[in-house]
Structure 1
Amino acid sequence: MAKEVENADGTVRSLSNRHVQMIAIGGTIGTGLFLGAGSTISATGPSVIFVYAFMGLFFFFMLRALGEMFYADPDHHTFVSFITKYLGNAAGNFAGWSYWIGILFACMAELTAVGTYFQYWFPHAPLWLVEVCFLAGLTLLNLTAARLFGETEFWFAMIKIIAIISMILTGLYLVMIHAKTPVGYASLSNFTKNFSLTPKGPYAFFSAFPMVFFSFAGIEFVTITIGEAKNPHMVIKKTVNETLLRILLFYIGTLSVIMCVVPWKSVSANSSPFVQVFQLAGFTTAASVLNFVVLTSAASSLNSGIFSAGRHFFQLAEEAGKNSKLKKTFAKISPNGVPARGIMISVLFILIAPLLSFSNTAGQAFNMVAGATSDIYILVYVLSLVAHRKYRQSNDFLANGFMMPAYEIMSPLTILFFVAIFFSLFFIPADLFGATLASAWAIGFGGFCYFHEKRKQANA
């Protein structure tokens, strides 16, 4: 086995290409597909595949922009550090702290989901105890070594992929034998008959875009593994170019098969179409099997979140002032090559989730704030794309590097598209509160970061 390469900061390049590829796929295919596919199908019908394809195209260009910067400088642990490098400390602090807080909320939501799915089999198990046990186990994995994290994520992702392939094959079998269902027969005509781009009107169609956007949100996580990947230049190219295509195939293939087996008007927005398809094929234990899949899916997202939060906090500490307590305390790598202190401080905040399980009111408030933090991700994506434009104008630009295709056209278009997605949230009642809170955070905390940096420069 080849000797692992140690970075200058003490982290170790121990993640192989198979780790990174599966982390990328598994990180984007989450419980939203297994449990939320019904809501996207019921919103737009068969045309939802165009929404996924269109959204996937813009995420591909964002990944290519991030990949181009990482290819030029693969020693960064997070894509947010490029925002600091090319847009300045104020933008970097806003993006870094906002993104880190967003990760913590996402982790708390996933931890709550893990506990809830576990209670499906053990309804009397205390939710807080289940959450603490799962969190402790995954924290230990992350503190041990990046390679162990990568191996765990590989198998978590494999479970999801096996479930998706099994559902697709089962659905195709039902279509081939023209199986009778409670709502008709499994047939390709269920998908193609009376096809319309906007069967429920233009508003329903366009409101599906933000819904699908959040299915793809998190795809950028794979870039966070580049700083600890073996042969990063090869990994960046393969991951960015292949992963999105695979994910699109999984999403579009899955949704298409579901709508062939069950007419889209008969797909419930409140239940998993995966269970429906498996039960039609005679698998009576489908609900229990799917619960296992979504449990591992949520655990996978939590595991990735702990990994990511630790690296982001380490990066924030690294970028703090030379004499700051934050840098002196947390900008440290443990002997086994992981930012242990960054991981531990992140986990301490995630422990808020078990406390919330004791109060329904606190849980409801948490869900509202968590929605707003995911909206802030859009603003961070926009800043990263603007940073990429600054990179293109800098001396760091590699003309023979991993170039973003059609840069002159697609860079501004991708920025405008993400901005449009953010503003569209104000026209969707369910997203209005989150978008308003995210805007208030951007103005308030963004203003604080700007004036704080101005004061630092004035006192320098």
Structure 2
Amino acid sequence: MTSTTAPTAPPSSGGLDRKLSLRHIRFIAFGSAIGTGLFYGSSETIQAAGPAVLIAYLIAGAVVYAVMRALGEMAVRHPVAGSFAQYSNRYISPRAGFLTGWTFAFEMVIVAIADMTAAAAYMGMWYPDTPGWVWMVAALLLICGLNLMQVKVFGELEFWFTLIKITTIVAMIVGGLALIIGGVSLGGFTPGPHNLFDHSGFAPFGVWGIVMSLGIVVFSFGGVETLGMTAGEADQPERAIPKAVNTVPVRILLFYILTIAVMLMLIPWTELGTGESPFVQVFAVLGLPGAAHVINAVVLTAALSAMNSITYAASRMMYGLADQGHAPKSFTRVSKTGVPVWPMAVVAVCLVIGLFVYLWIPDQLFVLVASIATFATVFTWSSILLAHLNMRREMVRDGLPSAGFKSPLWPVLNYAGLAFMAGVVIILAFSDSGRMALIVGAVWLTLLLLGYRYFVGAAGRTRLELPVRQAPESH
């Protein structure tokens, strides 16, 4: 694929500071992907597929790995702010870069609204008479305040936020296995592998149940691509990005699989209802004084952590879009702490809109925004796989050397991943919330196409030339 002459994206990402370490990058990605989807949304997936939901997580996890390896190779070769929006611009088309960037920002805002909704539900355990919107406002103010800090401070706070989540998950897995091995009775239920099969079988709803659960499962993993957004602020992207990509997706998958498997062995899946965190339900069954309250505090922290990482990702994407001429130039202005202020303001306004939607449909908001986020996630992941496919084709055609960290099994993984994305879009059409998500997605993409046609100038319609970093081959 040839590219026309265009302004070269700045290697240093303009006014952004390269102050994120490998530790920060890993935990920002953890923070985005391990949050509401696991601690709250997993109850929806369990009720859709029963214990067989583990298969859905394995399938989606394999696709996540393919997407992240593709993104990792591009991020090492082109460590720029805006990440995959600029890759779509360069290797698909400027229009595709515009659609990808704004759809990812849309995805992040939608997921942040889901996190706010979950935070309100968690606070409802302690203050059932307080309206949920009060806690959503509190979460909004807290997260926007944290994101206005210097990026290094933000990265450090997110590290500790996420460490609390990971510690809780590990404790859940280790403690749960100890109870299972010891055969300790919980709330009248005997824990063990038999709980995976005794209640209408391992797959009570058959293959269809597994298929239908994939929508929320993809939503659960959505946000892991945030790792690519850190390339513009990583102090050593050629070292940090490959290490993070090699470890983060596998660890996230293990956390999801092991945690849900342990929960399903502790108590029957039929006892895990929707509307609250299954983590809180499991610890409530343990009967330990205050255990449910402690876990509720942890899952609240998890929701805020995910919302924190997601807000960061959305603002950096809009900053990168402005670099391409796909957003107002004012979006590249940063504060004294190196934070793009106008993108942060846009995120805040969108969260306020989500608050008003909550007042309109409080009971249906989470499932609806999860479905919409799934559509946006599928679009973003598809763009990453297609851009990587075209990049490697161009490299092979022109005999260009690798910058390191080659994605394995190219192009097989790319095609398999794209086929999976098409399948998820079809799956969404079989549920009320999914159909609404497809309608919202179609309207969103139509508005973006109109915006590109009438508001993007000549500079934004020219394919980018991205800086290329040469690095030793690593695996």
Equivalent positions of 1:52-71 (< 5 A) are 52-71=57-76
Higher alpha-carbon deviation: 331-340 or 85-94: 331-340
Distance 2:300 2:417 in 1: 34
Distance 2:159 2:175 in 1: 24
Deviations 1:24-60 (A, max 9, x none): 2222111222233333234333332222112111110
Q: 2:394 aligns to what SS in structure 1?
A: coil
Among 443, 448, 451, which residue is 2:450 paired with? 448
Does the 8 A contact of 2:29 with 2:226 survive in 1? yes
Residue 370 (structure 1) shift: 6.7
Please tell me the residue identity of whatever aligns with 1:314: Y
Distance 1:454 1:132 in 2: 34
Matched, 1:307 2:307: no
Q: 2:204 aligns to what SS in structure 1?
A: coil
Deviations 1:183-212 (A, max 9, x none): 541223333669966332221122122221
Distance 2:15 2:249 in 1: 31
Residue 128 (structure 1) shift: 4.8
Please tell me the residue identity of whatever aligns with 1:54: I
Structure 2: where are the runs of 5+ without partners?
Answer: 1-10, 463-475
Does the 8 A contact of 1:157 with 1:300 survive in 2? yes
Does the 8 A contact of 1:96 with 1:312 survive in 2? yes
Q: 1:351 aligns to what SS in structure 2?
A: helix
Among 222, 226, 231, which residue is 2:231 paired with? 226
Among 251, 274, 281, which residue is 2:286 paired with? 281
Equivalent positions of 1:306-455 (< 5 A) are 306-320=311-325, 326-327=328-329, 329-356=330-357, 359-360=359-360, 368=368, 371-394=371-394, 398-399=401-402, 401-442=404-445, 444-445=446-447, 447-448=449-450, 451-452=453-454
Matched, 1:165 2:170: yes
Distance 1:83 1:452 in 2: 20
Residue in 2 that maps onto 1:209? 214
Does the 8 A contact of 2:15 with 2:334 survive in 1? yes
Among 102, 111, 116, which residue is 1:97 paired with? 102
RMSD of aligned C-alpha atoms? Answer: 3.0
Residue 259 (structure 1) shift: 2.1
* Distance change >3 Å, CA 314–CA 455, structure 1 → 2: closer
Distance 2:273 2:134 in 1: 33
Does the 8 A contact of 1:23 with 1:153 survive in 2? yes
* Distance change >3 Å, CA 126–CA 35, structure 1 → 2: closer
Does the 8 A contact of 1:376 with 1:438 survive in 2? yes
Please tell me the residue identity of whatever aligns with 1:14: K
Residue 366 (structure 1) shift: 9.3
Matched, 1:294 2:299: yes
Residue 162 (structure 1) shift: 1.6
Residue 66 (structure 1) shift: 0.6
Distance 1:166 1:356 in 2: 36
Deviations 1:62-105 (A, max 9, x none): 01111110010112333222111222221112222222223223
Residue 283 (structure 1) shift: 1.5
Residue 355 (structure 1) shift: 4.3
Distance 1:140 1:81 in 2: 28
Distance 1:381 1:399 in 2: 22
Higher alpha-carbon deviation: 178-187 or 124-133: 124-133
Higher alpha-carbon deviation: 29-38 or 245-254: 29-38
* Distance change >3 Å, CA 414–CA 122, structure 1 → 2: same
Please tell me the residue identity of whatever aligns with 2:155: G
Q: 2:148 aligns to what SS in structure 1?
A: helix
Residue 363 (structure 1) shift: 8.4
Does the 8 A contact of 2:30 with 2:248 survive in 1? yes
Among 21, 24, 41, which residue is 1:19 paired with? 24
Residue 407 (structure 1) shift: 0.6
Does the 8 A contact of 1:71 with 1:402 survive in 2? yes
Distance 2:173 2:313 in 1: 31
* Distance change >3 Å, CA 420–CA 9, structure 1 → 2: same
- The alignment's TM-score, normalised by the length of structure 1, stands at 0.87
Among 262, 265, 268, which residue is 2:267 paired with? 262
Residue 7 (structure 1) shift: 2.7
Does the 8 A contact of 2:25 with 2:227 survive in 1? yes
Residue 170 (structure 1) shift: 2.2
Please tell me the residue identity of whatever aligns with 1:336: T
Q: 1:199 aligns to what SS in structure 2?
A: coil
Residue 239 (structure 1) shift: 0.9
Residue 334 (structure 1) shift: 2.7
* Distance change >3 Å, CA 129–CA 191, structure 1 → 2: closer
Distance 2:269 2:353 in 1: 40
Deviations 1:93-120 (A, max 9, x none): 2222222223223223323433443354
| Matched-pair identity in % | 32
Does the 8 A contact of 2:25 with 2:244 survive in 1? yes
* Distance change >3 Å, CA 262–CA 391, structure 1 → 2: same
Equivalent positions of 1:27-106 (< 5 A) are 27-106=32-111
Q: 1:144 aligns to what SS in structure 2?
A: coil
Does the 8 A contact of 2:116 with 2:307 survive in 1? yes
Does the 8 A contact of 2:40 with 2:118 survive in 1? no
Distance 1:163 1:26 in 2: 13
Aligned length: 448
Residue 277 (structure 1) shift: 3.1
Matched, 1:238 2:240: no
Distance 1:188 1:14 in 2: 46
Deviations 1:316-345 (A, max 9, x none): 222127xx8x21x22223333222232223
Q: 1:333 aligns to what SS in structure 2?
A: coil
Structure 1: where are the runs of 5+ without partners?
Answer: 1-5
Distance 1:280 1:390 in 2: 52
- The alignment's TM-score, normalised by the length of structure 2, stands at 0.84
Q: 1:401 aligns to what SS in structure 2?
A: coil
Please tell me the residue identity of whatever aligns with 2:291: A
Q: 1:330 aligns to what SS in structure 2?
A: helix
Higher alpha-carbon deviation: 180-189 or 206-215: 180-189
Higher alpha-carbon deviation: 118-127 or 424-433: 118-127
Q: 2:287 aligns to what SS in structure 1?
A: coil
Please tell me the residue identity of whatever aligns with 1:171: G
* Distance change >3 Å, CA 363–CA 399, structure 1 → 2: same
